[in-house]
């Protein structure tokens, strides 16, 4: 009888646990479901956000208009996010290597500067940053000299700004990862005559793949979703990242335009979802180490 009661108690607890998990899944997926349903409804039916449309009320026009409106911004965001992400991660890895495995003077003060850079808000540097880029030779003119389109040059300042902002957090993430490395392995490489560059290239870099996945996903998401720097440093126009036209999507309509805005949100979020799917396993491995 006691064993039966124990089994019954465990079964009840398992049922309660699964019920809570199902409720959490519904809670987190409900906004996505609502946005998806709204994006395929005619605007006159958007007042019932949770209910799927009837066959007569289904429409794909919101997705078509969103893709057409955001296509140029998606290309610009890829031109912005890919180099900014790779440079931030690579430079952060190099800085963390120098701040972790090498001994030199003023190492701690330099590390404090990197940590302080993480907590500087975007709003605090908007005016100095915009004045700085306005005072230098226009990057678009320089890029035009080598035969590239001027609107590509408009993104160079934004790329460098995101790289500078991303290096501190990438450095801190890599430094935490490198502190757990086997120092005897690195010391053995030094005794064998390996230079600092060789140790980084042949030992540290191959072992950093999981943390590169973490920093790449994090930094790519930050750069891709940025609107503040994009509005101030680039503004609306041919070279604007996708967040700028997304913020203006449906603004010219006489109504709110929930359908096209929801479709635009899904279109703009698709690249970040792809990145998470491609690097999800490495991300989980890097976070768990």
Closest to 73 measured CA to CA, from 260, 244, 242: 242
The answer to whether the beta carbons of residues 178 and 101 sit under 8 Å apart is yes
For 58, the 3-state DSSP assignment is: strand
CATH number reported for the structural domain that contains residue 93 in this entry: 1.10.3720.10
Q: Which structure tokens are listed for 282?
A: 């490495």
Query: What pTM does this model have?
Result: 0.82
Dist CA 59 CA 56 (whole Å): 8
Is residue 197 domain-shared with residue 118, that is, in the same domain? Answer: yes
Number of separate domains in the chain: 2
Is residue 38 domain-shared with residue 99, that is, in the same domain? Answer: no
Q: Which range marks the domain in which residue 93 is found?
A: 71-288
Closest to 177 measured CA to CA, from 215, 133, 229, 142: 215
In a domain, 65, yes or no: no
> What string of pLDDT tens digits covers the 289 residues of the chain?
555 655 566 677 888 889 999 999 999 888 888 888 888 887 655 556 667 776 667 888 889 999 999 999 999 999 999 999 999 999 999 999 988 877 778 888 888 888 888 888 888 888 888 888 777 655 445 444 444 444 555 688 889 999 999 999 999 999 988 888 877 888 888 888 888 888 888 888 888 888 998 899 999 999 999 999 998 888 787 778 999 999 888 766 556 678 888 999 999 999 998 888 887 777 776 666 6
In a domain, 62, yes or no: no
What is the chain's length?
289
Q: Which structure tokens are listed for 202?
A: 């042949």
* 206-251 tens-digit pLDDT: 888 889 988 999 999 999 999 999 988 887 877 789 999 998 887 6
In a domain, 219, yes or no: yes
The answer to whether the beta carbons of residues 96 and 178 sit under 8 Å apart is yes
């Amino acid at each position: 009888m006691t064993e039966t009661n124990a089994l019954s108690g465990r079964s009840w607890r398992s049922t309660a646990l699964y019920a809570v998990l199902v409720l959490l899944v519904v809670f987190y997926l409900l906004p996505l479901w609502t946005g998806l349903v709204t994006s395929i409804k005619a605007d006159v039916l958007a007042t019932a956000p949770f209910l799927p449309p009837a066959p007569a009320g289904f429409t794909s026009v919101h997705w078509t208009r969103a893709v057409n409106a955001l296509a140029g911004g998606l290309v610009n965001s890829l031109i912005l996010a890919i180099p900014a992400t790779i440079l931030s991660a690579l430079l952060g890895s190099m800085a963390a290597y120098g701040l972790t495995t090498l001994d030199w003077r003023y190492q701690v003060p330099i590390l404090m500067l990197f940590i302080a850079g993480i907590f500087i808000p975007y709003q605090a540097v908007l005016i100095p940053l915009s004045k700085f880029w306005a005072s230098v030779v226009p990057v678009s003119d320089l890029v035009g000299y080598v035969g590239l389109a001027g609107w590509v040059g408009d993104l160079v300042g934004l790329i460098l700004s995101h790289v500078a902002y991303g290096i501190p957090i990438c450095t801190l993430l890599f430094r935490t990862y490198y502190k757990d490395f086997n120092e005897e392995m690195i010391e053995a490489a030094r005794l064998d005559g390996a230079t600092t560059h060789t140790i980084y290239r042949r030992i540290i870099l191959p072992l950093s793949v999981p943390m590169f996945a973490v920093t790449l996903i994090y930094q790519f998401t930050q750069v891709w979703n940025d609107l503040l720097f994009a509005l101030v440093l680039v503004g609306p126009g041919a070279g604007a990242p996708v967040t700028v036209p997304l913020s203006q999507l449906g603004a010219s309509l006489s109504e709110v335009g929930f359908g096209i805005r929801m479709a635009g949100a899904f279109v703009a979020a698709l690249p970040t979802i792809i990145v998470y799917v491609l690097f999800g396993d490495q991300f989980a491995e890097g976070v768990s180490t």
